[in-house]
Chain A
Amino acid sequence: MAEIAVQHLFKNFGTGDGLVRALQDVSFEVSGHVFVSIVGPSGCGKSTLLNILSDIETPTSGKVSISEGGKDAAVGYVFQSARLLPWRTVIDNLLFVQSTRDEEARQRCRRFLEMVRLGDTADKYPGELSGGMQQRVGISRAFSIEPDVLLMDEPFSHLDAITARELRKELHVLWNATRKTVIFVTHDVGEAVELSNRVIMFGRGGVLQEDLTIDLPFPRDPADEEVAVAKARILRRFEDLDLVAT
């Protein structure tokens, strides 16, 4: 079971007058098969947190650890844009991130491409796919390394509403089938409520404001009253904190 521990995390960018405090004393823990959304307005340090969790950036101070059974956990990352190598085919993009590149890895990559219904695009280049298809390749790439933890940074924000909704459903099915721990960053409160067991609210200046549990059955329809009420409650909380989500 994956364990994520974030302890007294600070992250600053720049120095002197140009100092930007991206994260201030952030602490929380996540464990097991949960879907945690991190919600907050633009510039509240959500993406910075994911970048620190995935070793892209180092913290100014504080500690993060992601472990699975006492060892370092495997972490998959779905970015805001698909971030595919345009000069490699779809299947090669998945193989690029595998620890081994043998036939077994190839089969696994094909399996995960099929899970996002893109099995027939394996030999195409990303430029030949639509934005939504590219993002699905990005999602299958993250799942294909069979990660213990999946980090997702606003993966549907660049897509049209209909495609985004389809992909949210697909993601929920994948999450349920694979029992991963997911940390999902979004500025869309509705999306967070639709997908998550837990919502962590960040305020401006990278301060953790609230840690809420969303105890509603899946699958959730945004049109359901309970889902709408939960969304309204979080939005009101943001307003109370004077941190209207954008």
Chain B
Amino acid sequence: MTSGAESAGGTTLPRVRRFLATPRFARIASVLTFFLIWQFLVPLLPTRLIPTPARVVGFMWSEVLGDTLARTTVWEAFGISLGRLGTGLLVAFLIGVPLGLLMGVSRSAENFFHDFVVVGLAMPSLVWALLTGIWFGLGNAAPIVTVILAAVPFVVINTFEGVRNVPADLSDMARAYHVPRERAVRHVLLPSLMPFFFASLRYGLANGWKGLVLAEVFASTSGAGWNIKYWFDAHRAQGVIGYALFFVLFALLLERLVFQRLSRRVFRWRPETEQVPETDLLAGIVDEQAPAPALSGAAVGGSSELKEG
């Protein structure tokens, strides 16, 4: 007995103590504490309008199983929204990348588009959602156009910054060795733009997604935004909170399954410490005031402006 306790004290206890001191434990503890307080505090409140986490999770589970009162299941709703988001982002890149490149190489183009881009960056997605609702009515057009309008300025600004930051020393090296232009574009220009394309994608996606949900609330009869409005109209708080949590899960999955893998592959040449931070996308989606990511040290986020001069 004694020897057993001693052996536990000798190996297990320090390990447990070490785990208790890790940031991971602090994060898990913080989430658990939040849910525990929520679970036990709510029944004490003099209202039935705030659901317990158990009720929210129950609601989410029924949705996942396809058992819902809404017209579409969570799978169908997210499928529709993802289709719109993908289409909108694709168009935003087709417009934004050439425009950003043009602004990067031409001072006249920069001066011409500068103010439009700044206004675009500052414009709340809500405005685009309302306007496209008026212009296009209910359907696919309003949400898709909202995604385009919300994402384009971020694609433009990041591509522009990318062109401005192409390392001159490497371009000069290529010129000194008379490297053919096509090879220099492929091996110097494009790779140096890559962090900025990533930033474009992240910010375009985050802002496009926010615009999309709003547009679906106001100007659509389907999609994740419409479903959250359905539960709002039905006066079911667990539905609204449940869908908010679906959004968070969606952002997390996108971050883990798409961005982290893509970034590891594209930036495998970088030393470990320079890897792209994990939580940027989530920060972008969940928090309007999220700081610009430290993606490349120069990527441009929501509140940034074009460089003068």
Contact = CB atoms under 8 A, between A and B. Distances in A.
Interface of A: 51, 54-56, 75-77, 79, 81, 83, 85-88, 96-97, 125, 127-128, 145, 151
B188 interface: yes
Interface in B167-198: 169-170, 172-179, 183, 187-188, 191, 194
Nearest to B274: A127
Nearest to A76: B177
B34 interface: no
A55 B188 contact: no
B271 interface: yes
Given A127-B270, A127-B271, A83 B179 contact: no
Interface string B273-291: 0000000000000000000
B176 A75 contact: yes
B58 to A, nearest CB: 49
Contacts of A86: 269-270
Contacts of B191: 85, 87
A62 B79 CA distance: 67
A85 B177 contact: no
Interface of B: 169-170, 172-179, 183, 187-188, 191, 194, 269-271
B269 A77 contact: no
Nearest to A101: B183
Given A96-B183, A97-B179, A83 B269 contact: no
Contact of A87 (B174, B177, B269): B269
Contacts of A88: 187, 269
Nearest to A89: B269
Contacts of A76: 177
Contacts of B270: 86, 127
Contact of B269 (A54, A81, A127): A127
Given A79-B169, A83-B169, A87-B269, A54 B176 contact: yes
A96 B187 CA distance: 8
Nearest to B270: A127
A56 B177 contact: no
Given A56-B172, A88-B269, A96-B174, 6 more contacts: A56-B175, A77-B176, A79-B173, A87-B191, A87-B194, A97-B177
B185 to A, nearest CB: 12
Nearest to B272: A127
A128 B179 CA distance: 25
Most buried by A among B174, B175, B183, B269: B269
A76 B176 CA distance: 8
Contacts of A151: 176
A29 B181 CA distance: 31
A75 B173 CA distance: 12
A4 to B, nearest CB: 15
A79 B176 CA distance: 10
Given A56-B175, A77-B176, A85-B187, A125 B269 contact: yes
A97 B175 CA distance: 10
Contacts of A81: 169
B105 to A, nearest CB: 19
9 contacts: A54-B175, A56-B172, A81-B169, A83-B169, A87-B191, A125-B269, A127-B269, A127-B270, A145-B177
Contact of B173 (A77, A87, A127, A145): A77
Nearest to A92: B187
A145 B188 CA distance: 19
6 nearest interchain CB pairs? A97-B177, A54-B176, A77-B176, A125-B269, A83-B173, A87-B191
Contacts of A96: 174, 177, 179, 183, 187
A97 B269 CA distance: 19
Most buried by B among A55, A76, A83, A125: A83
A86 B269 CA distance: 7
A81 B172 CA distance: 12
B176 A56 contact: yes
A55 B176 CA distance: 6
A39 to B, nearest CB: 22
Nearest to A141: B177
A131 B72 CA distance: 59
Contacts of B178: 55
A44 B187 CA distance: 33
B206 to A, nearest CB: 26
